Amino acid sequence: MAESRTRTYLGVPMYRPRVAFFEFSSCEGCQLQILNNESTLLDFLSLVEVVNFREAMTEQSEDYEIAFVEGSITRDDEIKRLKRIRKNAKTLVAMGSCACFGGVNQLKNRFRNPAGVKREVYGAHPVDSGPVRAVEDVVGVDLRIYGCPVSKDEVEKMVLHIAIGKSIVVPKYPVCMECKRNENICLFEFGEPCLGPVTRAGCDSWCPSNRAGCWGCRGPAEDVNLRQMIRIMEEHGFSEETITDRLECFGGFLSLMKPERGKGG
Ligand code: SF4
Ligand code: SF4
Ligand code: SF4
């Protein structure tokens, strides 16, 4: 009903968009993030009308305006389903590293003999699973929420901005900026590799603040100098394998890397 879709904020009517969440090849950890923080869940639900969310409800509807798509695309049936979602949604949001760049799933694209790997892993119970693609390799994407998993705050902020028609600003600067603001000692000082200088901020330097190097789950910051990043890591004595593993882990840097750095398998 129209009444249920309009709330007021400071006396101003606010439209409640119909929102749907969909998962493709993924661990569903990004969706879980949305449900995780009970302290803001009710506020979030008052902003939107959720009509599809398999982790949280049984009802399903094809009538939605914003589709949050989690996961990478690996099968023909997923392509068909994703195209249908794209057709239904006014705004399609790629949610998380898997959706944005293939995420950890795209590591399987390294293997040169996927059929042999499938035989090894699944034996007599083969599964239908092809090369990993990001959502935007299949359909147009309007917005991206980076991270593995995404931060619930960022998802809620994005939904609020869509609801009130405010522009959405994603940090373009690198994680190092947040790390310095948090007054951390640089992990390179402790002999730990870190992709903070080239990775998009927005996680409040979560890993370095917990004494772990950044693996680049939010993908590249704007105008990064990847060659220089690689040189710095080499100067600190990290092997080519260590550097490549880190840069390839979530798939965000693949388009910036030289093809010869990929290892195959
Ligand atoms: S981005 Fe990470 S947390 Fe989200 S679905 Fe992919 S693997 Fe899971
Ligand atoms: S620990 Fe990582 S993110 Fe922090 S300053 Fe050093 S390189 Fe940058
Ligand atoms: S520090 Fe790097 S790997 Fe860790 S959450 Fe932030 S972007 Fe992701």
CATH match for 3-164 among 3.40.50.700, 3.50.50.60, 3.90.1070.10, 3.40.50.620: 3.40.50.700
| CB 72, CB 130: distance < 8 Å | no
| CB 157, CB 40: distance < 8 Å | no
Choose the most confident range, by mean pLDDT, from 3-7, 9-13, 68-72, 112-116. 68-72
Token pair of 227 as six digits: 């060659």
Q: Delimit the domains of the chain by residue range.
A: 3-164, 175-258
Give, using CA atoms, the residue closest to atom 2 of ligand 1: 148
Give the ligand 1 atom nearest the CA of 33.
Answer: 3
186 lines ligand 2 (CB under 6 A): yes
| CB 96, CB 149: distance < 8 Å | yes
Ligand with an atom nearest the CA of residue 55: 1
Distance CA 182, CA 247 (A): 24
Query: Tens of pLDDT along 55-73?
Result: 888 888 899 999 999 999 9
104 lines ligand 3 (CB under 6 A): no
Q: What is the pTM of this model?
A: 0.89
pLDDT for 265 beyond 50: no
Distance CA 104, CA 55 (A): 21
Hey, which of 214, 224, 235 would you mutate to test ligand 2's pocket, going by the most ligand atoms within 8 Å of its Cβ?
Answer: 214
